[in-house]
Structure 1
Amino acid sequence: MKYRWATFTAVSGAILSLAATPAVAAPQEAIYIYGTPVRVAIAADGTAYLGNYGQGGGVFVVPAGETRASRTISTGGHASTGLALGPDGTLYVATADGDQGAVGVIPAGDAAVARTIPVSAGLHPLAAGPDGTVYVANPEGDTVSVIAPSGTTVDRTIKVGAGPAEIAVTKDGTAFVTNQTAGSVSVIPAGADAVSKTIELVSDTGTSEEPHGIAAGPDGTVYVANIKSNDIAVINPGAGTVAERIFVEGGPQDVAAATDGTLYVTSLLTQKLSVIRPDATDVAGSLPTDGGPGHLAVAPDGSVIVISPGSSPGDGSVSRFDAAELAAASQGSTAAAPAASVEPTAAAPAANPAAEGTAAQPSADSWDTLPAVAGAVAAGVVGVAVWILVNGRRRKAGLPAPTRRGSGL
């Protein structure tokens, strides 16, 4: 994502053929959205919010257990690029509009944006801390902007590594930022105006492992999805290095932690949602997803909502995985032996939100802020450009292409 969202790979025809095979029917329930959902946030009552990058923008509101939006919160026609829920239920939505970005503030229960906070241009992932502090990743500037609780402007901007992709905040207010291009995680203590330490995630050859998704567990443990090294890096509370790694095949893109410590991981190449039990060292089981999965969130009832963006407008989807099915899938280990990570051979924008042609055309389109695979298989070894996000879909949405290294959602 810087979204650079990431360079990603040329692989052998055999591997690609496997990766490109459509997933079989999964134990999931479709959530029907007219637009291009790119992010998902779930409130304490189970209400799901889906940001629309498609024409008209807005945020779709899906009540707990429902399969269709009950209403849409307007963002003034601007494309939604990031979502975060504050501890009091306030919804924050990042929007993009040419050379100007903004973070809209929607108080709990309100049907409209109450105020906006200007930020730099680009696509901005968001995260909210336990005190209501909002962190905004700025992929174009390799920085994170901090908005104080109830703030009306950016309070301070902090330099991080190249290609900030995602942010997670622990219960003590420490923010962790994945720098996908640099291959590192920046640690920002609560109230700080600078990074306190940097945790390296690079290979033996000194190249980035493409750290992308990140989640904080209930005990403060931080989990990082590394696309290129095919694993989840585990960072213990207060640590400055990786304690262990959990192998997850297929280029893990995003990770979410449930309240009991269970981890859920989406892998785009294998089109799977993997389940890792609390304190486990391998994948307990997995379920096929509908297309290439990206962002996800865990609901209070234990279900998981996954966005699968698709490779073109109209073929994406948003799915809800039932808690019982997820529990059943984790009864037997399906983790394969670790394989050598695949080195990328060409840079490609990793986050590519594809917008709908018109908002009135029904579709279950979704955008994930992760690379999507578009493959061409020929005899022998075939080069595959792995895309998903920023430039291609920005062009379809009629938004200007980013000027350097992509931007992100």
Structure 2
Amino acid sequence: MNKNEHTHLQKNIGLFAAFSTVMGTVIGAGVFFKVSSVTASTQSAGLSLLAWLAGGLLTICAGLTSAELASAIPVTGGAIKYLEVTYGKLTGFLLGWAQTLIYFPANIAALSIIFGTQFTNLFHLKAGLILSIAVICGASITGINLLGTKHGARLQSVALIAKLIPIAVIIAFGLFAPSNVHLSLIPEHFTTSQTLTGFSGGLLSTLFAYDGWLGIGAIAGEMKNPKRDLPLAIGLGLTGIMIVYLGINLVFLKTLPISDLAGNLNAASTAAGQLFGNIGGKLVTIGILISVYGALNGYTMTGMRIPYAMAKEDSLPMSNHLSKLSRTAVPYVAGIVQLVIAGLMMIVGSFDLLTDMLIFVMWIFNVLIFYAVIKLRHTQPDLVRPYKVPLYPFLPVVAILGGIFVLVTTIIDQPILATTGIVITLLGIPLYLVTKRKSS
């Protein structure tokens, strides 16, 4: 072993850094862009806010449920380890395979491209520079994280504070600003099948915006007091996110009519222009850049820990390299591999489709995680649980039913996408069997 390399991750992450990772990872581009797809589905201000509220409550139930496993099994790898303990090695491997190959790199690629697009728009640069800026953006985040966990966590905390400032200004000013838009919070004709279909579509869109919270478990092994801080970070972080999403979407709906919001990816800039004048669009663009950069850091920091945790158990090809730590105690090979995959996705440009597939697949694993809480209560009653999900078994059951709703709706509305996502994930089974045979 190189004398400059470490063999163990260092416990440098406190409560605020973990809380910042939850909020900073989830609050990315979705807070600005998802108003477009949500309103396009619901065609109603009241239904849109109800979708954001329902998505937030479902995510809080999911987070508080999974936090029981996170506190009982506070190790690097997060959800992979929860599934291994409950269902066996193969189930955990398939989740890690899906996250390593597509989920985290695809999110990094998508956020980097969004950053490049907004950056060129802000400074009126040529569209041909978007890819170069995206690559530089993704590489800079990986570079910062390779300097050490403290640097990545510090960036996450600073980015969270910086991104919440423009959001808070928009919310505070927008709620009290005069408006000519009639805002009805009571959905009309709520019992019609068309309205229910619109609500389900809006809910699915909000869940994409709330995605990212599960990754916090991947850094549990580097937290100073994971059994106390991890459940707090998840619960407080997701509650804060829901409040932010409800507040800023209320401002958008109060400022612009549904017809101007639905399908308009620049709705946030348009609304800010109405509130602040010409400077409004630039303010929101800067907010988007900060927000996306912070979310990108969260996905990068948590994502590189997944292949590292799997390689420590010799579960991946080249595990002897992927399990290496730098002199700053960071899984640098795993981080570089993640960046390379993300870079290829930026060039190919298929990250949107891949991300949509894996969102569906992630919810399959999410449902398994929620059920694992109930299963382990029976199979391992003596497992030390510093935190237990409140209102048990109500919250886990709500999380499971919500997850099943997401899966069934996706299968009905996008069967090809759902099938492709499942097939890509199942391709990990042959790799698992080959790796296991070589290891034996």
Could you say which structure has the higher helix fraction?
2
- The TM-score range, normalised by the shorter chain, is under 0.3
Which structure's CA Rg is the greater one? 2
| TM-score between both structures, scaled by the size of structure 2 | 0.23
Could you say which structure has the higher strand fraction?
1
